Amino acid sequence: MSNFFKKAVLYMQLPEMRLFWYFLPLAILILIIDILYLPKSWVLINVGIFFTLGIIILVNNLRLARLNLEIKLERNEMRSIVYNLFDGIIAYDQDFRILIFNRAAERILNISADRVINQNFTPEKAKDINFSVLGQILYPSLAALVVRRSEQGMFPQIADFTFKQPELNLRVTTDKIIDPNGQLLGFVKIIHDRTREIEILKSKSEFIEVAAHQLRTPLTSLNWIFESLARETLTDSQKELINMGLLGAGGVLKTVNDLLDVSQIEEGRFGYKFENINLISFAEEIMASVMALAKESKIKIYFKKPEEASIMVFADPQKLSIAFSNLITNAIKYNIENGEVVVEIQKLEGQPYIQISVKDTGIGIPPEDVKKLFTKFFRADNAKKIITGGTGLGLYISKNIIKRHGGEIWAESQLNRGSVFYFTVPIDLKLVPPTEAAFGEE
């Protein structure tokens, strides 16, 4: 009951109740005049009318007051959530007037909200050294190092910004603010500070790199020793032992090299050297380099060439060959005896891309595993059964290389029937990312 009274007192004090409080003395005054000057029956009628009016006004005002109180509470709750979020939130209208700048945005960008709220953030202001980070986030075209993680023009837009001074790694998600009628009101940016995250990943990568470097030298010698021994005249049992050693050392050396590649890729220093290459002769060279393995595995390789004699693309031939030969090697490794591999290069109709596909007649990939193929260390169970030594890093490395070239990579497969791996490379120079990104493709 006391709760009810408390609430009643609270509502009575709200501004929406003003009309009721103005009405009350007026009604009392008119009643006093009535009592003094009118016959009793009229006084009774007037009391009835005022009472009914009073109740209507009171009920309506109370309802309005309750509604407004709820809206205010909700708004405050929202504001408090937005202001206390760990990620920075910036909302601005179409004229780049900043409407919301929460506490995390203040902390991450080292700017107090008072300096920017309600200010029109023009491109000129964005160039101001004091607002440099905020300026680059609001106008990504001004940013020195930005990597888009979503398709251009699509919302929400996701982009990674790297700043040197101050050292910051930010993932910024931008979305439109649209009213219920579909009218664009402005934009909201969510800023996720990944600086610490990236630092930890970097130190992990550095550790792997140092360890891999230490292991590589003795492993290369070991591999070389086994290779020299294999060329000697040996008894059958000696040959078997040496081959086992060669296989083991080769496998570990491949793992170490893959780990080194991964750590360099993730630190954004795989060191790409782009040049114009003819994709057709490039593919022919790679296919020639895997011929010995194909012959040994009794697999036939076919090349479906496009009509054009040459297709020029802007690529790093050494890095692209890692990705391309990994796909062909996999198509041979995970094939069946007397199986086939078909490599096809084609220009995509109406698109600025060349598509390369590698089709095999092999063991296929279980449907639930297809989406996991390009993640680190993933190996499907059916593949593990036939080839025990594998790193599960080849496709992860390939994906990073293709993405760095501005292309996409994906696979289609039917279990026990075969697989097709596709990748694209752009023919339009503008579609090749300008820089190598750190910790590219999570």
Q: Which residues bind ligand ADP (CB under 6 A)?
A: 326, 330-331, 334, 360, 362-365, 373, 378-380, 383, 390-395, 419
Of the candidates 386, 356, 392, the one whose C-alpha atom is nearest the C-alpha of residue 374 is 392
The sign of the dihedral angle between the CA atoms of 99, 102, 106, 109 is: negative
**CA–CA distances in Å: residue 73 to residues 9, 78, 83, 405:** 18, 9, 15, 51
Q: Which of residues 426 and 440 has its CB atom nearest to ligand ADP in the complex?
A: 440
State the residue for tokens 């040496």: 242
Q: Is 192 helix (H, G, I), strand (E, B) or coil?
A: strand
Q: How far apart are CA 211 and CA 150, in angstroms?
A: 35
Q: Which is nearer to ligand ADP, 193 or 360 (CB)?
A: 360
Specify the residue, 330 or 424, whose C-beta has the smaller distance to ligand ADP.
330
Instruction: Answer whether 400's CB lies under 8 Å from 386's CB.
Output: no
Judged by CB, which is closer to ligand ADP: 201, or 411? 411
Residue placing its CB nearer to ligand ADP in the complex, 116 or 393 = 393
Q: How far is the CB of 274 from ligand ADP (least distance, A)?
A: 24
Residue 227 has a CB neighbour count (10 Å cut-off) of 14
> In whole angstroms, what is the distance from residue 199 CA to residue 211 CA?
18
Residue of this chain nearest to ligand ADP (CB atom) = 394
Nearer to ligand ADP, 88 or 392 (CB): 392
Q: Quick one: 394 or 426, whose CB is closer to ligand ADP?
A: 394
Q: How far is the CB of 121 from ligand ADP (least distance, A)?
A: 45
Q: Least CB distance from residue 265 to ligand ADP, whole Å?
A: 13
- Distance in Å, CB of 384 to ligand ADP, minimum: 7
Tokens of 133: 């980070």
- Distance, CA of 35 to CA of 427 (rounded, Å): 95
When the beta carbons of 116 and 265 are compared against ligand ADP, the nearer one is 265
Residue 11 contacts residue 17 (beta carbons within 8 Å)? yes
Helix (H, G, I), strand (E, B) or coil at 346: strand
Contacts of 193 (CB under 8 A, 6+ apart): 87, 88, 104, 108, 168, 169, 170
Single out the residue of 168, 137, 147, 170 nearest to residue 435, CA to CA: 147
Tokens standing for 143? 């940013």
Tokens encoding 52? 């009914």
In the complex, least distance from residue 109 CB atom to ligand ADP, rounded to whole angstroms: 39
Residue 85 Cβ vs ligand ADP, minimum distance, rounded to whole Å:
38
Using CA atoms, how far apart are residues 89 and 37, in angstroms rounded to an integer? Answer: 67
- To the nearest whole angstrom, how small is the minimum distance from the Cβ of residue 364 to ligand ADP? 6
Nearest approach, Cβ of 439 to ligand ADP (angstroms)? 19
- Would you say 243 or 257 has its CB closer to ligand ADP? 257
Distance (Å, rounded) from C-alpha 439 to C-alpha 268?
7
CB of 424 to ligand ADP, least distance (A): 18
Q: Which helix (H) or strand (E) segment is 162 a member of?
A: strand 157-163
